[in-house]
Structure 1
Amino acid sequence: MKLLKKFLLLLLIVVAIIFYFNYPKLNILAGYSAKNTASSVFVANRTLEFTDSTDNNFSPINLTSDKINSEEKSATGSVYGLLTRKAVYRDGLGCVLVSDDFDPSKSSLVPNRSQPDIGTPYPYGNAPQKDTLFANINYNTLNTAVSSMFSDVNKTRAVLVIYKDQIIAEKYDTGFTKDSKILGWSMTKSITGTLFGIMQCQGKLNVFDKAPISEWQNDARKNITIHNLLQMNSGLEWDEDYNTISDVSKMLFLEKDMTKSQIDKPLVGKPNQTWNYSSGTTNLLSGILRQQFDSHQEYLDFWYKALIDKIGMNSMVLEADMSGNYVGSSYAWATPRDWAKFGLLYLHNGNWDGKHLFDKDWVDYATTPTPTSDGWYGAQIWLNAGSRYPDVPKNMLSFNGYQGQNVFVLPEQDMVIVRMGLTKNADINVFLKTVISAIKH
């Protein structure tokens, strides 16, 4: 009996040690699962079963178990019952991971939204488009290229091809339609960056000014400009690794205020000489945007009033952290058709059906390659100047997100291509090359 007690005590100690050293990892796993489940169910209107079988079925997230509380609109994620995290839905703000001191009875400010235009044909409204057949398009080649993305390897959820403002190809995976909201992940960064372009063109800020961060004013970081932040070229330390306990995973799944995660990081390089992709930088930019307004309500409204609703991306939901900041690095949900509208805005140099949001000077600025990025990156926008896709025009720009979310803008072809996926395995270069080849000029 004494031997059994000693064994059980030893086992308990071993379990406690394992739990202690793995607690941060379990915390992030449960947090990812709870947040992703809540958003999938309450923002994108999917079922728990569908979410678990498609979005949360990869290692190590599939170690978690998820539950939904429909009455309070919340989700919990648990890792073997050892640790449980909770995410809640807030109308107008999407879903957020909450801490034990979260008060569900406390109301939050929410953005004011405009009503969708259901009378104007797509893309400038949300009514059915006026279909046009183009004599210079090889539709067999086009449709073959689109269909190729929906293999077991490529795992694509939606593809949309727009040519001369007309949808010429559109395909969805089982369980998805033109009305399905899909998370853009880091495509959200391009939304955040564009808001700086709008404010720049309105004369409300200058991106070449020093970043207004009080914590940096007594050291070398005081020389970092908003421009450096937009280009991910501040020289600040940041670890963007989604497969480990890194700066980005701790920010997204542990922090209450995600705008502060980058602030405390030291310089490990020099501004304008050290490109380093950082979601913390984009959320810092979201915080800088918030400083430009006299009230929190104005900040919440601006993203929709100045950009999202103005171009009819009415399906989009920007999710906010517990401190009320939009998670500008990662959390925007919208239909593929609405993501395509964002691409069209850049294709048309900031002009939206006669409405001027920003000018070509901003497009030129945002698509100027960042020093030391090998021609891959501009101001919160990905570029092909470095021939990342060798068979695609070098002036292509794109908004890219985790697991294969893409909006490709091809000025020479007058084309926008959207691909929403669950993997980066797809050969995007061949796909784009084939779609382009279907258009005879």
Structure 2
Amino acid sequence: MKKFLKIFAVLLVLVLVYIRIEIYPQLDLLSGFSAKSVASGHFIDNRSVETIQQGDNDIDKIDWVTNQINDDEHSVTTNVYGFKERKAIYREGLGATLINDDFDVSKPYNVPKRSKLNNNLPFPYGNLEQKDTVFSNIDYKKLNVAIENAFDKNGEKKKRTRSVIVIYKDKIIAEKYADGFNKNSKILGWSMTKSITGTLFGILQKQDKIDITQPAPIDEWKNDERSKITTNDLLQMNSGLEWEENYSKICDATKMLFIEEDMTKLQINKPLVGKPNNTWNYSSGTTNLLSGILRKQFKTHQEYLDFWYTNLLDKIGMNSAIVETDMAGNFVGSSYGWATTRDWAKFGLLYLHKGNWNGEQIFDESWTKYVSTPTNTSNGNYGAQFWLNTGGRFPNVPKDMFYASGFQGQMVAIFPSNDLVIVRMGLKEDPEFDFNVLLSGILKSLK
């Protein structure tokens, strides 16, 4: 009996050590993820906590979490079995922000100035419904089958598609939503927000306000090898800086999104592990650093906030869009952009038309070529804050297709040679959801 108790005691100690080392640190991330997700989904898109818990919060161990919404103070408080309580607050114009105990909720804050497109034009250049258009070169039966096959049937949860829209020659030729979603539903784009952030540099370049070939304006790098890193290297994820992006564990990316007060700084403090312009590595920290660099282009914080909307999002009628901020007031340019499916499609159309929006050149045509040209050492898979099919990731899709891509299978796919934009929003990505089948199926419907 004594021997058994000793063995039991040893095993118990080992279990407790494992929980302390491996599990307990994850609780901050679990409660942080859930608080932020529930606050955003509830206050931005009016979703119930039950809907969010069953859908958006589709990650491992999330059922350990308890969420409490306070509609009066626009907040969500979350804990994991009573431990690691986290709180997220919603502020109109800034979205939901995960806060810590030091955050002063009573402190005044700036919000972006917004303007709504009101020009009595149909989609995409206005907010009126389009006139029905039938194209003789489209096999609508094949098209509808391809769209239907992207959605779950009979209550299954395998493909988890929430919406698909297909825009051909500026016309919606197919549009479908899962139960509970519609054309007015705002959906988180996750890393598709990176493509928005990158686009702002194209706009600044057209305005002759930035030269992306120059060293990045980071004071901390001026006296070491990192001084050779250019803004171009950052846009192409080719800086050579250390960064770990793995959402299945505690890593640089998860610590940044769910713990850091100022998300623009974490990448700054990382050392070189490769050579600038010769070591491609996908990094959300890099894009948030770019958001910080954007902030430096303006004299005031208000100008920085306004620029994203006045010069891009509201300019092209993405009036539903909102990019959320961190505790320091920076846009989380890596991950937290929301918009309706139709408005995400407008962003794709802007690139399909090489920066021209209904006659106005938002960024130079050359910027489209820049973002869709393969970055050195990316194996043809990445441009500048956009993913590419140059390397043939989707074998039955044209290689000139390029796309914004986000966690859990968000995609805005741009097909220059087909005059086509396809948006898919959902909760599953490759390999669970087969994008090659969806995209190629839609393309086969074009004769």
TM range (shorter): over 0.9
* Structure 1 position 355, deviation (Å): 1.1
CA distance in 2, matches of 1:41, 1:176: 14
* Structure 1 position 12, deviation (Å): 11
Aligned 1:36-435 pairs, distance under 5 A: 36-117=37-118, 119-151=120-152, 152-424=157-429, 425-435=432-442
CA distance in 2, matches of 1:299, 1:87: 23
User: Does the Cα contact within 8 Å between 1:237 and 1:265 map onto a contact in 2?
Assistant: yes
Which deviates further from its counterpart, 48-57 or 371-380?
48-57
Measured against aligned partners, the alpha-carbon deviations of 1:344-387 in whole angstroms (never above 9, x if no partner) come to: 00000000001110121111111110011010000101111101
CA distance in 1, matches of 2:335, 2:151: 24
User: Does the Cα contact within 8 Å between 1:117 and 1:127 map onto a contact in 2?
Assistant: no
* Structure 1 position 14, deviation (Å): 7.8
CA distance in 1, matches of 2:26, 2:433: 29
User: Does the Cα contact within 8 Å between 1:161 and 1:167 map onto a contact in 2?
Assistant: yes
SS at match of 1:171: strand
Q: Which amino acid in structure 1 is aligned with residue 405 of structure 2?
A: N
Measured against aligned partners, the alpha-carbon deviations of 1:377-417 in whole angstroms (never above 9, x if no partner) come to: 00101111101111111100100000000000001110000
* Structure 1 position 23, deviation (Å): 3.4
Q: Which amino acid in structure 1 is aligned with residue 287 of structure 2?
A: T
Which deviates further from its counterpart, 244-253 or 358-367?
358-367
Which deviates further from its counterpart, 329-338 or 80-89?
80-89
Q: Which amino acid in structure 1 is aligned with residue 355 of structure 2?
A: G
CA distance in 2, matches of 1:192, 1:166: 26
Runs of 4+ in 1 over 4 A off after TM superposition: 10-17
| 2:30 alignment counterpart | 29
CA distance in 1, matches of 2:355, 2:376: 25
CA distance in 1, matches of 2:371, 2:30: 35
Unmatched tracts of structure 2, length 5 or more: 1-7
* Structure 1 position 101, deviation (Å): 1.9
User: Does the Cα contact within 8 Å between 1:318 and 1:332 map onto a contact in 2?
Assistant: yes
Measured against aligned partners, the alpha-carbon deviations of 1:163-213 in whole angstroms (never above 9, x if no partner) come to: 000000000000000000000000000000000001011100011010000
TM-score normalised by structure 1 residue count = 0.95
Unmatched tracts of structure 1, length 5 or more: 1-6
CA distance in 2, matches of 1:38, 1:224: 37
Identity of aligned residues (%): 59
SS at match of 2:93: coil
CA distance in 1, matches of 2:166, 2:96: 30
- What count of residue pairs does the alignment treat as equivalent? 433
